[in-house]
Amino acid sequence: MYRLSQSLTDAFSRRFSRTVREDYRQDEAYASTPQGRFWLAVAIVGLLLLPLLLPQYPMFVATQILVAALAGLGLHLLVGGAGQISLGQAAFVGIGAYTSSHLSGDLAPLGILAGGLVAALIGVVLGIPSLRIKGAYLAIATLAFQFLADYIFKRWTDFTGGVAGRKLPAEGTMLGLSLADDRVIFYLGLFFAIPMFFYAKRLLSTRAGRAWFAVRDNDLSAQLSGVDLVRSKLTAFALSAFYGGIAGGILMHLIGAVTPENFVLSFSIQYLAIVIVGGAGTVLGAVLGAFFIVLIPEVLSVIAGAFGPQYVAQLSAWRSVAFGVLILLFLILEPRGLVGLWGRIRDYFRTWPLPY
Amino acid sequence: MARVLLEAQDLHLSFRGVKALVGVRFSVSEGDLFAVIGPNGAGKTSLLNVLSGLYRPQQGRVVFLGEDLAGQSPQARVRKGLGRTFQNLELFRGMTVLDNVKLGAELAVGGYTDLAPKAVQEWKIRRHAEEVLDYLHLSPYRHAPAGALPYGLQKRVEVARALAGRPKLLLLDEPMAGLSLEEKQDLARFLLDARREWGVTLVLVEHDLKAVLELSTGVLVMSYGEVLYQGAPAGVRENPRVAEAYLGRSA
């Protein structure tokens, strides 16, 4: 018995010693421990291999998650980072989608980038009211922007195709690859998403992130610590819109068309839900939140389908109720979101089987 | 005589009818530990707010390093080396202690364009921040959210954040209010050390008369926005006007 406990404790100290950081440089890195680096590599390789393992429809859902995660991450920089509430993220996704729909085929990546940039530019304009108004009032201002954007999407037919929207050529190709293939779109999405996730993580842990958190926590004190309020708020709005715009471009290619109903208020609220359910404050939260928000309806409809086709219509109403209840439960039971839950699970297993 | 760092020239500030500052003038030389004392509502905090640019005086000038600060924003003044801490804690409660101090350290180390993070610069900021944390005995708490710490430590974090920016002059608004005796002594020691090591000139508003008279090199006594006394700490107790303001007329 003594032997056993001794070997357990030894194994334990070895495990911990691997997580010791020896200088500040290591502490600042993306993944500061060998284990962290290992899992990060596994995650990236897994993402790259995913399209080879899954059939079309799951890839469609996976790409949806990717889009939601990217748009959610953008909003997360703004809401969780700089503390500015926005109800207009779907509008930026829309701006990105419409802009990139004008550049398809071989130019698709360029079109997506252009969508992001146009969205960022308009994001700066939306950021200007935030210099004077805060909290709920700002949320109303962004809500007004959301409705305005929706109106323009429907009326500016030359650019947006009006209510009918714009449709991409069905046999569009990029560098010889079919853009109708969801796997290609997934890779196209990853091409943008992976660098953008690293960039966001970096920003949040360096100067820009500190300035945003400072503005969020206490803007008076931020000023007296030398933070440029105007610059911080506007960069947060611009980046948030940029991420939304890129997500919009990818979404447009995924659907193969662009119509106004993909960018209405309920989607803005959905993106906000991703931030809240995921847990404000970390990049991982946006990913987990997107998984949750996109997958739960899918899972619920699979469950509904399992009861038999005659129940599907009846249960689809209950699906929304179940979805709402799940989000509510989340907010009550785990206010720090999925990230907090994950942290607790990790801490449990880190010290398992000797919790003290 | 050391050179004059900060000079207030005939400052007047009033809110509607209330006169917060009436012709306040004083100067602080390099290396001073200058204390501002006075009863509640004497205008001490208003004075600091005018100095750091949160209030605009109706009349008078603030001269820092020989330059008139009129029209300069608070953050511009901070970047010039005019640091500030608050009476009621104004920490970034959701940020870790380390991030709080790093934010201050950017002022001393020099930042970079915020959208293009530079690792080398970031490590410099980190090293600088760690040095300050170490100095103020805050290293064990570096990854704790600032808002979760006990009050005395939060006060110390706020001082650390301000000191990390290596201000030439630091305005401290009641840094010792609400602290226990030991915490006060610790803080006083930290401040004196910072002044000696880093050459930070200190201006502090304080209620604790004993601490002020022991620590400071110069004292300004205010009451109802007016200056009652300015000079060496030894003279404060003898001054009849100060005794009147503090203890009442019959004394």
Query: Which band of pLDDT confidence, cut at 50, 70 and 90, is reported for residue B250?
Result: low
Same domain, B174 and B100: no
Helix (H/G/I), strand (E/B), else coil: B226? strand
**Does B87 reside within a domain?**
no
Same domain, B240 and B172: yes
Best residue of B84, B114, B130, B169 to probe chain A, by most A CBs closer than 10 Å:
B114
SS3 content of chain B, % helix, strand, coil (to 5): 40, 25, 35
Q: Mark which of B164, B188, B216 sits at the end of a domain.
A: B164
Domain span at B106:
94-164
Is the torsion defined by CA of A61, A161, A87, A123 positive or negative?
positive
- Give yes or no for a contact between A120 and A99, defined as CB atoms under 8 angstroms apart: no
pLDDT of the residue at A236: 93
**Does B89 reside within a domain?**
no
CA A125 from chain center: how many Å? 22
CA A263 from chain center: how many Å? 16
Contact B115 A24 (CB under 8 A): no
DSSP 8-state class, residue B96: B
Choice between A71 and A21, residue whose per-residue pLDDT is larger: A71
**Does B86 reside within a domain?**
no
DSSP 8-state class, residue A81: I
Distance from CA of A318 to the nearest CA of B (A): 38
Choice between A271 and A179, residue whose per-residue pLDDT is larger: A271
Helix (H/G/I), strand (E/B), else coil: A85? coil
Same domain, B58 and B174: yes
Percent share of chain A, pLDDT over 70? 84
Choice between A226 and A24, residue whose per-residue pLDDT is larger: A226
Q: Mark which of B164, B193, B213 sits at the end of a domain.
A: B164
Helix (H/G/I), strand (E/B), else coil: B31? coil
pLDDT exceeds cutoff 90 at A301 = no
- Spell out which residues of chain B touch residue A223, defining contact as CB-CB under 8 Å: 73-75, 78
Same domain, B7 and B46: yes
- A–B CB contacts, 8 A cutoff, strictly below: 91
- Give yes or no for a contact between B47 and B220, defined as CB atoms under 8 angstroms apart: no
pLDDT exceeds cutoff 60 at A22 = no
Same domain, B18 and B68: yes
Peptide bond between residue B39 and the one before it cis (omega within 30 degrees of 0) = no
Same domain, B105 and B221: no
pLDDT exceeds cutoff 60 at B113 = yes
Choice between A119 and A54, residue whose per-residue pLDDT is larger: A119
Q: Mark which of B126, B148, B164 sits at the end of a domain.
A: B164
Instruction: Kindly report the CATH number assigned to the domain that includes residue B225.
Output: 3.40.50.300
* Per-residue exposure over A154-190, b if at least 16 CB sit within 10 Å of its own CB, e if not: beeeeebbeeebbebeeebbbeeeebeebbbbbbbbb
Show the tokens assigned to A250.
């990818």
Using CA atoms, how far residue A115 sits from A155, A180, B24, B240, in Å, is 19, 20, 57, 73
- Spell out which residues of chain B touch residue A221, defining contact as CB-CB under 8 Å: 86, 90-92
- Spell out which residues of chain A touch residue B90, defining contact as CB-CB under 8 Å: 218, 220-221, 224
Q: Distance (Å, rounded) from C-alpha B195 to C-alpha B32?
A: 9
Q: Among A52-61, A199-208, A316-325, B219-228, where is mean pLDDT lowest?
A: A316-325
pLDDT of the residue at A240: 94
Same domain, B125 and B9: no
DSSP 8-state class, residue B64: E
**Does B28 reside within a domain?**
yes
**Is the ipTM here above 0.85?**
no
Using CA atoms, how far residue B50 sits from A241, A344, B180, in Å, is 38, 47, 30
Q: Distance (Å, rounded) from C-alpha B52 to C-alpha B44?
A: 13
Residue carrying the six token digits 């997360």? A76
Same domain, B72 and B190: yes
Same domain, B139 and B190: no
Same domain, B32 and B154: no
Same domain, B1 and B73: yes
pLDDT of the residue at B251: 44
Same domain, B126 and B234: no
| Average pLDDT of chain B, as a whole number | 83
pLDDT of the residue at A125: 92
Contact B114 A235 (CB under 8 A): yes
Q: Does A319 touch chain B (CB under 8 A)?
A: no
- Give yes or no for a contact between B153 and B66, defined as CB atoms under 8 angstroms apart: no
Best residue of B49, B75, B93, B172 to probe chain A, by most A CBs closer than 10 Å:
B75
pLDDT exceeds cutoff 90 at A223 = no
| Average pLDDT of chain A, as a whole number | 82
pLDDT of the residue at A98: 92
Q: How many domains does chain B have?
A: 2
Burial class (CB in 10 A: 0-12, 13-18, 19+), B6: buried
Model pLDDT for residues A308-318, shown as the tens digit of each residue: 666 666 666 77
pLDDT exceeds cutoff 50 at A344 = yes
**Does B149 reside within a domain?**
yes
